[in-house]
Structures are given as C-alpha cells and as structure tokens.
Amino acid sequence: QLQMAGVTVLLFKEPRTFDEAKQRLRTIGKAVDRQERATALISVLEKDIETLKSKLTARQGQAKPKALFLYLRGPQTAFVFGKDSSPGAMLELVGATNAAGKITGTKPMTAEAVIAAQPDVYVLFESGLKSIGGVEGLLKIPGLAQTPAGRGKRVVAMDGLYLSGFGPRCGRAALDLFRGIYESEGHFIAKGE
C-alpha cells in the first residue's frame, strides 16, 4: 500500500555479516541523500571490525568458548538461537562456538540438551534476563545451573537490537560481546550507549 501511495519503500534481507551491514548503510544513505553520513558510519564500523580482527588474531590457537544464546521471556518461554539467525551469526563473528550445535533458527532446547551442550557462557538480551529476575532467576531454569556457564555465573546480557540488529553499531556490539565472552568473569552487561 505504501508503494502504491508513491512512498519509496526499501526492502532488505536481514544482514548477518559486517559487509551486509555496510551495504545496507550505503543503500539507506543513498535513498535519503545522506551518503556522507553513511560513509562516516561505515568508517567507524570498519575501525571496530579491525579492532575485533586484532583481538581474534591474538586468540588464535586458543580454545573457542562455547556460548549458548538464549531467548527468554519469563521462565516459561525459553528458546536458543542456532545457526541461520542474527544472534548466531554474531557469536560466529566473535569467534565463539555456538553451543546450540546443529540447531537452526530459533528453537526450544530441553534442560537435558543444555546440560549436554555444556556451554561456557550464556548470552541473552538484557530484557530477557530482567524478565526472569536476573542471573539468580536464570539459574533456576532447569538445566542452566548444571553447566560451566551456570556454575561460574557466566552471563553476557546486551540490548537486543544493539546485539542482533546489525545496524550502524554492530561493530561496537561485536566488540562488547567479545569483551563479555573473553575478557570478563561472571555477569557482563553492555547497553550499547
């Protein structure tokens, strides 16, 4: 209906790489005649990508931590993000192994499967962590306390759009995720501000 009314509509597939995020910025910049602003945003993104690459290079040869990306909305709504999802792509970009294994998209995961996966760290949206009462509430969900992540209370919580939206701040989000997984102990929160 918008197109029929003469409104320009841009349709994008969900980006899952830094290159796709940069291309989306270029396209939007051109569409709204803000190419210079888009170029400036891409420049910042590229600097963040270079910083991330340096950090990943420094870790070469070290074991990759297993991260389980959880989607929670209260204790009764628990899913994991596997391959073929933006959150799963972000885990891959920071060099972590997705503990969801062969799961694709967003699917439920049983307590037994979580225990068998033995994740080193849980990653989730900050809003999801709040919805279950924080880290203590998280560890009350069956199976989550019986893993290395649960025993060490290794939880990375970040704003959902910041972490998985692959927008202009996706490079900074990847750096924050890297810091949370590799450079912090216990509970790490990044709001993307």
Query: Where residue 76 falls among pLDDT bands split at 50, 70, 90?
Result: confident
Task: Please state, rounded to an integer, the average pLDDT across all residues of the chain.
Answer: 93
pTM of the model: 0.91
Q: In the chain, where are the structural domains located?
A: 66-190
Using H for helix, E for strand and C for coil, what is the string for the chain? CCCCCCCCCCCCCCCCCHHHHHHHHHHHHHHCCCHHHHHHHHHHHHHHHHHHHHHHHHCCCCCCCEEEEEEECCCCCEEEECECCHHHHHHHHCCCEECCCCCECEECCCHHHHHHHCCCEEEEEHHHHHHCCHHHHHCCCCCHHHCHHHHCCCEEEECHHHHHCCCCCHHHHHHHHHHHHHCCCCEEEECCC
With both helix axes pointing from N to C terminus, report the angle between 170-182 and 18-31 in degrees, rounded to the nearest 10.
150
12-32: average pLDDT: 91
Residue 55 scores a pLDDT above 90: yes
Question: Residue 61 is encoded by which pair of tokens?
Answer: 């040869």
Fold (topology level) of 66-190:
Rossmann fold (3.40.50)
Strands 187-190 and 155-158 come out as parallel
How far, in Å, CA of 4 to CA of 1, rounded?
5
Angstrom distances, CA of residue 90 to CA of 6, 29, 118, 149: 36, 24, 20, 19
User: Considering only CA atoms, which of 62, 81, 60 is closest in space to residue 70?
Assistant: 81
Residue 1 scores a pLDDT above 70: no
Q: Which of 91-95, 106-110, 143-147, 188-192 is least confident?
A: 188-192
Residue 192 scores a pLDDT above 80: no
Question: Residue 141 is encoded by which pair of tokens?
Answer: 């969900």
- 8 A C-beta contact, residue 136 and residue 117: no
Quote the pLDDT of residue 193.
66
What burial class does residue 9 get, using C-beta atoms within 10 Å of its C-beta: 0-12 exposed, 13-18 middle, 19+ buried?
exposed
